[in-house]
Amino acid sequence: MAEHLRCDVAVIGAGPAGLSAAVAAAGQGARVVIVDASPQAGGQIWRNDVRFGAPAAARALREQVMVSGAMVLSRHEVVAASGGQLLLNGDAGAATLEYGNLVLATGARELLLPFPGWTLPGVTGAGGAQALAKQGAPMQGRRVVLAGSGPLLLASAYTLKRHGAEVVGIHEQATRQQLHAFAAALWRWPAKVMQAVQLRTALAGVPYHCDSHVLRALGDARVEAVELQRGNRTQTIACDQLACGFGLVPNIELAQLLSCDLHAQGRHAAVRVDEFQRTSVAGIFAAGEACGIGGVDCATVEGSIAGLAAANASGAARRLFPRRARARHFAALLGEHFALGDAVRRLADADTLVCRCEDVRFSDLAGMHDARAIKLKTRCGMGPCQGRICGPALAEIVDLPRTGSRPPVFPVPLNVLAALHAGTPTDSSSGVMK
């Protein structure tokens, strides 16, 4: 029989937001369980690096979680939810988790925009390339081009260089004027200025171009070169890897499943929360990038507020509001100055695959503007990723509205699904909170 767990506060996601929420709630005496699909806590920014370990901030927060008494269930995906219970799929099979309050800290994923050649081996997201390097993929001597938009390009370039890659160039789609305006506003965040200086120093010698974007990846069996638009001229650069980062999209599937209200975030959606990080559903809170792309500082403080509020410590939560306001102000600055230009939304040609799972080409969508019709006719979004990749891409390139989410959030064996409807099993001896 599936293991059944109970807790006062369940936290989904062990990134900066989830870990902070767990520490805050446990600090108020709540029995906390954190669930995360990854093998190790840390989320995207603090993904464990097999060669260099985790940064000091991540180690410190993990340590706080350990001493807080919160229970961490790594390698467990939350795949469905029903009547105050979550269905988890882990290494040992299904488990159910019954909670008093719930904090959704499910983070964000990369926005991948289709362009000719984007499915060639050797073409990845910028964060994907970073994750590969951290997980030990050989990078020594690989010529890597980074293209897209935002600070993740720099963070990824830093990781790749640290792992021995030759970063041939970073191509930022924002214009020089946008970058100057961003730099001019940065003085209000001295710690961010310091970080930017450190990154640029570590990347000394790596060319950084603005007003530059990818046009196509070239190669037969794998990527051999990239064609770029730089201002009003094109340029072809030889490379072994092309890492493209066009920004991030909030992971809202679980919130949708739980009927939480959403709000628009550009052409995408994020979980709507009030000042205490409460969603529209009683007892469910949300924090971090699931509520909107805000970066690590925003995620951390929102997580603390959500954890405190979920443990009924609203006074302590309120004291963190000014810190959150400052972090959100910085996030808004990033969003404004690295907004995607229309040029990167027009890269796909008729033959470009827009849905990799189901081999749907851009021309297959001709004349259709309704997500349901597209699904029925082409199977676009019906493959293993369940529209996680092609959905946001189509929202950008043809303004296709987002569709709902249905269980399971991730593909699972049928016997796992059955556990949610098998009734509440007897508590197993291990891992039971009560």
Ligand X SMILES: Cc1cc2nc3c(=O)[nH]c(=O)nc-3n(C[C@H](O)[C@H](O)[C@H](O)COP(=O)(O)OP(=O)(O)OC[C@H]3O[C@@H](n4cnc5c(N)ncnc54)[C@H](O)[C@@H]3O)c2cc1C
User: Which parts of this chain interact with ligand X (CB under 6 A)?
Assistant: 12-18, 35-38, 43-45, 77-78, 105-110, 127, 130-131, 152, 155, 248, 251, 254, 288-289, 295-296, 299, 409
Six token digits for residue 362: 């851009």
**CA proximity to 141, closest of 168, 171, 170, 169:** 168
Minimal distance in Å, beta carbon 37 to ligand X?
A: 4
SS3 44: coil
CB closer to ligand X out of 44 and 352: 44
Q: Tell me the sheet residues that pair with 10.
A: 33, 102
Minimal distance in Å, beta carbon 162 to ligand X?
A: 12
CB closer to ligand X out of 217 and 327: 327
Instruction: Determine contact, residues 122/244, Cβ cutoff 8 Å.
Output: no
Minimal distance in Å, beta carbon 230 to ligand X?
A: 25
From the number of C-beta atoms within 10 Å of its C-beta (0-12, 13-18, 19+), residue 12 rates as buried
Pairing mode of beta strands 32-35, 71-73: parallel
What does residue 244 show for φ and ψ, rounded to 5 degrees?
-110, 125
Minimal distance in Å, beta carbon 18 to ligand X?
A: 5
CB closer to ligand X out of 112 and 355: 112
Minimal distance in Å, beta carbon 12 to ligand X?
A: 6
Q: Tell me the sheet residues that pair with 104.
A: 12, 286
Q: Tell me the sheet residues that pair with 172.
A: 148
CB closer to ligand X out of 2 and 365: 2
Cα–Cα dist 25/154, whole Å: 34
Minimal distance in Å, beta carbon 77 to ligand X?
A: 4
CB closer to ligand X out of 75 and 230: 75
CB closer to ligand X out of 110 and 172: 110
Minimal distance in Å, beta carbon 105 to ligand X?
A: 5
For 39, how many CA atoms within 13 A lie in the half-sphere containing its CB? 4
CB closer to ligand X out of 114 and 288: 288
**CA proximity to 44, closest of 213, 159, 190:** 159
DSSP sequence for 240-265 = SEEEEE--EEE--HHHHHTT--EEEE
Cα–Cα dist 248/150, whole Å: 10
What does residue 303 show for φ and ψ, rounded to 5 degrees?
-60, -45
Minimal distance in Å, beta carbon 233 to ligand X?
A: 31
CB closer to ligand X out of 109 and 163: 109
% helix, strand, coil for the chain, step of 5: 35, 25, 40
CB closer to ligand X out of 109 and 402: 109
Cα–Cα dist 105/301, whole Å: 12
Minimal distance in Å, beta carbon 30 to ligand X?
A: 19
